[in-house]
C-alpha cells in the first residue's frame, strides 16, 4: 500500500518545531500565565507575545496533524493550546492520543490493556509517562503500578485540564 500526500497536505519535513523562545512562551501560556505577565517577565510587548502564541499554536497543531496523518490516525479532537489530541487508528482499531511537549517531542499513545511487566519497552514507557506528567504538573498516584494504568490516568488528567471528558 502506498500513501501519497495531496498538494495541500504538509509533511513532517515542512513543519518546523517551535523555537526556544516560542516554546517557552507557549508553555507559560499553557500553564495559564497571562499574556501581560509573560510580556512583563520577558520585557516584551503584548503584541509580540500574542503573535508568538498564535504562531506557536499553529505550529503545534500542524505537528500533531502531521504525526496523525503519517500514522493513519483520524483526529476527533485537537488542542493546540495544550498540545494534545484524541483520535482513532482504524489500522489498530483503537483510540490514539497524541501529545506534544517541546522538551520531549511528540508521542502517540494507543489505548490498550498492556502486559507491562513482560514488555521490553516498559522502562522507556515509564520514563516517558513520568516526563509527560512532570511537564504538565500532574502527579500520578503511587497506587497505579502498570504503565497502562498510569497512561490512562495521565490522559484523563490532561483531558480534564483542557475541559474534555473521557472515559476508559
Task: Give φ, ψ of 139 to 5 degrees.
Answer: -95, 120
Q: Is 14 exposed, middle or buried (0-12, 13-18, 19+ CB in 10 A)?
A: exposed
pLDDT of residue 116: 81
Please indicate whether residue 13 or residue 16 has the higher confidence score (pLDDT). 16
Residue 9 lies in a domain: no
37, part of any domain: yes
Report CA dihedral (147, 162, 87, 128) to the nearest 10 degrees. -30
Residue 68 belongs to a domain: yes
Enclosing domain of residue 142 = 15-162
Write out pLDDT tens, residues 28-72: 999 999 999 999 999 999 999 999 999 999 999 999 999 999 999
CA dist., res. 102 & res. 35, Å (int): 19
How many domains, the chain? 1
Position 11 scores a pLDDT of: 53
Confidence of residue 17 (pLDDT cuts 50, 70, 90): very high
Amino acid at each position: 500500500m502506498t500513501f501519497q500526500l495531496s498538494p495541500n497536505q504538509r509533511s513532517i519535513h515542512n513543519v518546523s518545531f517551535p523555537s526556544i523562545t516560542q516554546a517557552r512562551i507557549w508553555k507559560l501560556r499553557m500553564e495559564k500565565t497571562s499574556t501581560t505577565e509573560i510580556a512583563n517577565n520577558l520585557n516584551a510587548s503584548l503584541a509580540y507575545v500574542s503573535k508568538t502564541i498564535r504562531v506557536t499554536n499553529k505550529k503545534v497543531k500542524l505537528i500533531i496533524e502531521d504525526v496523525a496523518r503519517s500514522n493513519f490516525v483520524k483526529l476527533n479532537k485537537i488542542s493546540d493550546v495544550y498540545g494534545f489530541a484524541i483520535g482513532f487508528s482504524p489500522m489498530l482499531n483503537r483510540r490514539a492520543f497524541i501529545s506534544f511537549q517541546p522538551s520531549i517531542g511528540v508521542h502517540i499513545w494507543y489505548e490498550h490493556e498492556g502486559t507491562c511487566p513482560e514488555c521490553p519497552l516498559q522502562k522507556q514507557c515509564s520514563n516517558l509517562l513520568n516526563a509527560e506528567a512532570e511537564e504538565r504538573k500532574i502527579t500520578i498516584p503511587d497506587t497505579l503500578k502498570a504503565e497502562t494504568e498510569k497512561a490512562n490516568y495521565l490522559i484523563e488528567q490532561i483531558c480534564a485540564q483542557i475541559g474534555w471528558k473521557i472515559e476508559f
